[in-house]
Amino acid sequence: MKMTPAEIIEEVKKANLRGRGGAGFPAGVKWGFLPKDRTRTLLCVNADESEPPTFCNRVLMETDPHQLIEGTIIAAYATQSQIAYIYLRVEFHEQFHILQKAVDEAYAKGYLGKRIFGSDYWLECYLHRGAGAYVCGEETGLIESLEGKRGWPRIKPPFPAVEGLFRRPTVVNNVETLSCVPHIIERGADWFTSIGPPHSTGPKLFCISGPVKRPGCYEAPMTITVRDLIEREDMGGGMLPGKRVKAVLPGGVSMGILSADELDMKMDFEDPRKYALLGLGTAAAVVIDDGTDMRMVLRNMARFYGTESCGQCTQCREGTAWMQKIASRIAMGAGRIEDLDILLETARNMGMMPGLSICGLPDGATYPIETIVKKFRGELEAAIRAQAPQRAKAVLSVLN
């Protein structure tokens, strides 16, 4: 409470704390976008963790909810917000109760509410549970949902920092980002920047799932590689006996796929671009073993986005559904070689970076499809050629 809000923002900027939600936008810079002459500011905590293999926010909320609340209080103080909303995905049932208990405890101790620590600053904190939509993890989708509307992302500008929740300047931050804030303030920006490479500072949580010995959530600096995450004894601990890595989705599903010979990719904010991936994403890796048919992976990816597209922008609404149809048909054994080209073209038409749509969902929907088709084209083509012609014909005749 000795620091002024401006000093906190400066410290966080100096620490180069990049958003842990997926896009990696510097949190301090985001706070700096708030207009100087604003009268009321709102803070939203994005706990709508819905990227498929990701569970680092869940772990944070289960094991140390007070760390999140502390980060929320500091961020709210820095942005001069007096209301903080924590937006939880509806599936976080247990986590909601844990967090609610922690918030109640914080109120009881006087850390939340009026005159925090005897200062003249007050902060109300509310938990809000979503209704189950991937797109509500997008910050403007979250804002719309929080307002009680359909979770359709908003057109920008105006950006939330200028006009967000209830048309007031709003900051939306991820759970993990805010959980870093108390440590930056306590130990200083220099401590934070001493961890990891200069463009990806601070500790980061990594999730690993799939056929590894120790699936779970591990903290490490952003210098580790995908191979480290799988092999290291204190992390994944290697593959299960008899399994070999065939591919890895290193940053949640939306960032794209790595083939087995690209495992030296560094898990930081910059390196994934070199491997034709969208970015670091949520740093949650799924390992796919050599017993898995890539057609099924493709179908699974396409189905997810076909279900989760919000339906607002044309390219995403129609494109994800079309890709889902094609991928399902290929998985059913009625693929055509030209389908792979159509998938690639559709992915491009849906607008890969820089996008054509209101939000980034179609970018995330196209990267896994495109990278799977490009990096595993040989296998997919072989599978299509090996289809039983009678079956393919039967499936096609039903669909036509």
Question: Least distance from C-beta 338 to another protein, angstroms?
Answer: 8
Structure tokens at 131: 């209704």
Select from 128, 150, 168, 374 the one that contacts another protein (CB under 8 A).
150
In angstroms, give the least distance from the CB of 146 to another protein. Answer: 18
Q: Is 329 in the site for another protein (CB under 8 A)?
A: yes
Min separation Cβ 232 and another protein, Å = 38
Q: Given the rule CB under 8 A, which of 90-98, 268-276, 284-292, 306-314 is the region that contacts another protein?
A: 306-314
**How many CA atoms lie within 13 Å of 279's alpha carbon, on the beta-carbon side?**
17
Cβ neighbours, 10 Å, residue 36: 4
Q: How far apart are CA 305 and CA 45, in angstroms?
A: 24
399 binds another protein (CB under 8 A): yes
CA dist 266 → 173, 249, 262, 334, 366 (Å) = 24, 13, 10, 38, 22
Under the binding rule (CB under 8 A), the answer on residue 364 touching another protein is no
Pair type for strands 284-289 and 258-259 = unpaired
> What tokens does 90 get?
């509806």
Give the span between the Cα atoms of 345 and 351, in whole angstroms: 10
* CB-CB contact of 111 with 123 (8 Å): no
Q: Find the binder of another protein among 195, 356, 383, 392 (CB under 8 A).
A: 356
Using the minimum distance from each CB to another protein, give the nearer residue, 150 or 232.
Answer: 150
* 50 touching another protein, by CB under 8 A: no
Nearer to another protein among residue 243 and residue 295 (C-beta): 295
Query: Is 322 a binder of another protein (CB under 8 A)?
Result: yes
Is residue 52 a contact residue for another protein (CB under 8 A)? Answer: no
Residue placing its CB nearer to another protein in the complex, 75 or 298: 298
371 makes contact with another protein (CB under 8 A):
no
**140 near another protein, judged by CB under 8 A:** no
Among 315, 360, 366, 373, binds another protein (CB under 8 A): 315
- Is residue 342 a contact point for another protein (CB under 8 A)? yes
Residue of 57, 312, 366, 371 that binds another protein (CB under 8 A)? 312
Q: How many CA atoms lie within 13 A of 93 on its CB side?
A: 1
Name which position in 13, 66, 317, 374 contacts another protein (CB under 8 A): 317
Q: How far is the CB of 317 from another protein (least distance, A)?
A: 5
**Residue 83 or 313: which CB sits closer to another protein?**
313
* CB of 164 or CB of 182, closer to another protein: 164
Tokens of 94: 């247990």
| Interacting residues with another protein (CB under 8 A) | 133, 135, 150, 155, 306-315, 317-322, 325-326, 329, 336, 342, 349, 351, 354-358, 396, 398-400
